[in-house]
Amino acid sequence: MKIALAQLNYHIGNFDQNLSKIRTAIEKAKQAKADIVVFAELAISGYPPRDFLEFEDFIKRCETTIAEIAESCVGITAIVGAPLRNDDEHGKGLFNTAFVLANGEIKQVVKKTLLPNYDIFDEYRYFEPNRTFDIVEYKAKKLAITICEDLWNLGNHPLYKINPMDELFRYNPDVMINIAASPFHYDQAKVRKEILLANVSKYKLPLFYVNHVGAQTELLFDGGSLVINAKGEIVEELAYFEEDFKVFDVGNLNVQHTKKETPSKIALIHDGLVMGVKNYFLKLGFNKAILGLSGGIDSAVTAVIAAEALGAKNVRCVLLPSEFSSDHSVNDARDLAENLGSPYEIVPIKGGYQSICESLKKQFEGTSFDITEENIQARIRGVILMALSNKFGYILLNTSNKSEAAVGYGTLYGDMNGGLSVLGDVYKTDVFALAKYINREKEIIPQNSIVKPPSAELRPDQKDTDSLPDYAILDEILFQYIEKRKGPKDLILMGFEESLVKRILKLVNTNEYKRYQTSPVLRVSQKAFGMGRRMPIVAKYLS
């Protein structure tokens, strides 16, 4: 028996495109003499469709598309993910389902049992869990088909009371097939491999695993579909961050590929961000970006990633110097744009700033320069960038990093503007590492942008360290609190100064209102700001 894995980049709700991709892969599998071709979880709708699943028309389109795909399944069997109606009057209205299509019709359906409801996942909101188990028989082989989370209930602290593969194993299956939508973070490929290998070790069966690839707004899917033989050897690892297709003979699952080196954390983040920007623009029908280029490291890294994703000519860089901007910042920004080959222009904000201050002269009489005037400058920049975005059809990229977003070191309706936050899940220390990675072969980002002390340049001689601790310390506190959920006592026991811990945690919690209003953040960590981290704005805890 030959099984083809089709690792595709789906588009949520784009039924015509998803249908076309699936049909093309089916024809490719037929030409390769495959018996079965396997597609990802909820391939028909794209993942995650979220509240589209509550629309009758959306579900009808899913059903129509499945029927059309079934028509193509003559001389081949396809396993395709899609929602299925629950005909029982009790429970949720849908099942997350793997459709087995053959001879022009739906031959069998396999429903997802374990519905994740943590972090970015919200499946129990829409789907009813499966409660019955059966294998799929095909050409004298018994197939144990599962859907994503169904293989993840292993280890010392299982989340669920049932293990679907334990139930299916009673039928003596010959092969495991898992269709998935496993979102990327920089440790996910390693964790995923360990889980899949643990299943093979437990059941002593070969495993065919198909994952999504591509970005759906803030969620990135890295692909990396796998075939593992019964001995626990990885036979093949499909491409990361791009579509792929391969055919395998179940009777000959010997290791033939050269073992791939595991990319570094920073390389993975870089590739994920490039794919995320590219897909965000492509799926929205845009192709040009704009951003404020300050000469600092955050905007520099954002510009390079955008240029790699969209092409340098499609990234418009705007230098917005104020009276407090240093000459070297302007020069660094100009040098970067020229290194990239991106169009750039200089739009000074001094006149606009003075005009607003003059308009508020009466109201501000008797007060001194403070954060108000700093924010006016940031908001003037935001107004200019949004004006250019509106006039010429660009998407504005937000350049804030995770460290700044965490502690509120940014101005709402100013530098926090944007249609997409590229670095919002990347701590400042990792932004520095990204810059070095980008410059690994030649200098693209000017060295001065990397080595100079970070500054917002909104008042004379300003440095980030005037308001914040050193980023190496800040980022470790933030990581332990946000990703690891460590409390203040834990952090103090780790050796951090008590007053600093209390101050930083208070800043994180009291600035939730800012993050609530910002653009989608490309997710590269286990706990990103956005849909996977749900915090109340009005709360007293640690504030």
- Whole-Å CA distances, 150 to 146, 158, 165: 6, 11, 7
Q: Which of 111, 112, 428, 486 is catalytic?
A: 112
Give the whole-angstrom CA distance, residue 81 versus residue 44. Answer: 6
| Catalytic residue status for 148 | yes
Q: At what angle do helices 471-482 and 498-510 cross, to 10 degrees?
A: 60
Spatial contact of 47 and 12, defined as CB atoms under 8 Å apart: yes
Give CB contacts under 8 A, 24+ apart, made by 354-361.
Answer: 356/380
Q: How many CA atoms lie within 13 A of 39 on its CB side?
A: 31
Residue type, 290: I
Give the whole-angstrom CA distance, residue 471 versus residue 403. Answer: 8
Give the whole-angstrom CA distance, residue 452 versus residue 438. Answer: 17
Give the whole-angstrom CA distance, residue 322 versus residue 292. Answer: 13
Burial of 526: CB neighbours in 10 Å, binned 0-12, 13-18, 19+: middle
3-state SS class at 321: coil
Beta bridge partners, 227, equal 208, 236
DSSP 213-239: EEEETTEEEEB--EEE-TTS-EEEEPP
Residue 372: count of CB within 10 angstroms of its CB: 12
| Catalytic residue status for 41 | yes
Q: Which of 148, 167, 428, 527 is catalytic?
A: 148
Q: Which of 21, 41, 374, 457 is catalytic?
A: 41
Q: How many residues does the chain have?
A: 543
Residue type, 213: V
Beta bridge partners, 83, equal 96
Q: Is the dihedral of CA 116, 122, 123, 128 positive or negative?
A: positive
- Whole-Å CA distances, 101 to 68, 69, 387: 10, 8, 51
Which is nearest to 6 in space by CA: 20, 193, 95, 15?
Answer: 20
**Which residues are known catalytic residues?**
41, 112, 148
